[in-house]
A and B are shown apart, each in its own frame.
Chain A
Amino acid sequence: ILNVEQSPQSLHVQEGDSTNFTCSFPSSNFYALHWYRWETAKSPEALFVMTLNGDEKKKGRISATLNTKEGYSYLYIKGSQPEDSATYLCAPLEAASKLTFGTGTRLQVTL
C-alpha cells in the first residue's frame, strides 16, 4: 500500500490570505501525481496531473509544484476566496496502475 501523507489535515484562513499544502509520497516507482478538489456535496474534480520533476502547473490562483526525487508536491492558493473552501486531495500514481489518495487537506476560507 502506497503511503501518501498530506499536511495540514485542515486549515482555516481569511479571505485574501495565500496558503499552501504539502503532499508526500514514496519517490521510488513514481509515475505521475494528481491533485483533486472536492467540494461538499459534489464530486472530486481534477486540478492538475503532473509527471516531471520540477514541473509547475497553474490554474488561475492555484498552482502546484512537484519534486519527484524527494517525493513531495506543494499546492498553493493565492488570495483565497470562500469558493476555494474544499478538501484538496493528492494522489500519486505508481507503475501506471491505480490512484492512491491521501487523506486530504480541508480548507475553510471565511470572509
Chain B
Amino acid sequence: DTGVSQDPRHKITKRGQNVTFRCDPISEHNRLYWYRQTLGQGPEFLTYFQNEAQLEKSRLLSDRFSAERPKGSFSTLEIQRTEQGDSAMYLCASSTPGTGGMTEAFFGQGTRLTVV
C-alpha cells in the first residue's frame, strides 16, 4: 500500500448526470476525509468518517451529495444531478486519530470533475 488512491483522476460529465468517485485510503488509517477545492481556494471540508461511521457532514453540502464507507475501508462520494458549480477538484485524505487527532493527513491526487 503506497498511499491514498482516488479513481477516476478526471471526470467530464454533462449537467444533470450522476457521478461517483472512489477513494482507497492507506489500509491502517481509520479516518477518511473528503474535501473539495476550487480555483484560488483552499480545500473545503465536505465530510469525514471514522471507520464506517460518518461523523460530520458540511452544512454547505447539498442533499445531492452523499458519501459512504460501508466496510470502513474504501469510500465513495456520489453527486446526483450535477451542476456546473460542482466542477472542482475532489480530494480524499486519510489519517489515524493518534492522540486527539494530531497525526498528519495523507492525501490522494484527487478527482477533477468538469460539468459541461
Interface stretch of the complex, out of B11-19, B63-71, B73-81, B98-106:
B98-106
Q: Does A3 contact B (CB under 8 A)?
A: no
Interface string of B70-113 (1 = CB under 8 A from A): 00000000000000000000010100010011111111111000
Residues of B within 8 A of A34 (CB): 104-105
Chain A residues engaging chain B, CB cutoff 8 angstroms: 4, 6, 31-32, 34, 42-46, 49, 51, 89, 93, 96-104
Query: Judging by beta carbons under 8 Å apart, are B33 and A99 in contact?
Result: yes
Residues of B within 8 A of A44 (CB): 43, 91, 93, 107
15 interchain pairs, CB-CB under 8 A: A6-B42, A31-B100, A32-B100, A32-B101, A34-B104, A43-B106, A44-B43, A45-B107, A49-B102, A49-B104, A96-B101, A96-B102, A97-B55, A100-B45, A103-B41
Interface string of B1-31 (1 = CB under 8 A from A): 0011000000000000000000000000000
Query: Judging by beta carbons under 8 Å apart, are B104 and A46 in contact?
Result: yes
Query: Judging by beta carbons under 8 Å apart, are A51 and B48 in contact?
Result: no
Beyond contacts A34-B105, A42-B109: 6 other A-B pairs, Cβ-Cβ < 8 A, are: A44-B43, A49-B103, A89-B42, A93-B102, A97-B48, A97-B101
Majority-rule SS of B interface residues:
loop
- Give the size category of B's interface with A: 20 to 34
Majority-rule SS of A interface residues:
loop
In Å, the complex CA distance between A42 and B4 comes to 12
Residue from A44, A89, A102 having most chain B Cβ neighbours under 10 A:
A44
Q: Which of A43, A49, A99, A104 contacts B110 (CB 8 A)?
A: A43
Query: Judging by beta carbons under 8 Å apart, are B42 and A102 in contact?
Result: yes
Q: Which of A31, A45, A104 contacts B42 (CB 8 A)?
A: A104
Residues of A within 8 A of B101 (CB): 31-32, 93, 96-97
Query: Judging by beta carbons under 8 Å apart, are B42 and A51 in contact?
Result: no
Q: Looking at the assembled complex, report how far the CB atom of A25 sits from the nearest CB atom of chain B, in whole angstroms.
A: 12
Nearest B residue to A6, CB-CB? B42
Q: Looking at the assembled complex, report how far the CB atom of A76 sits from the nearest CB atom of chain B, in whole angstroms.
A: 19
Residues of B within 8 A of A6 (CB): 42
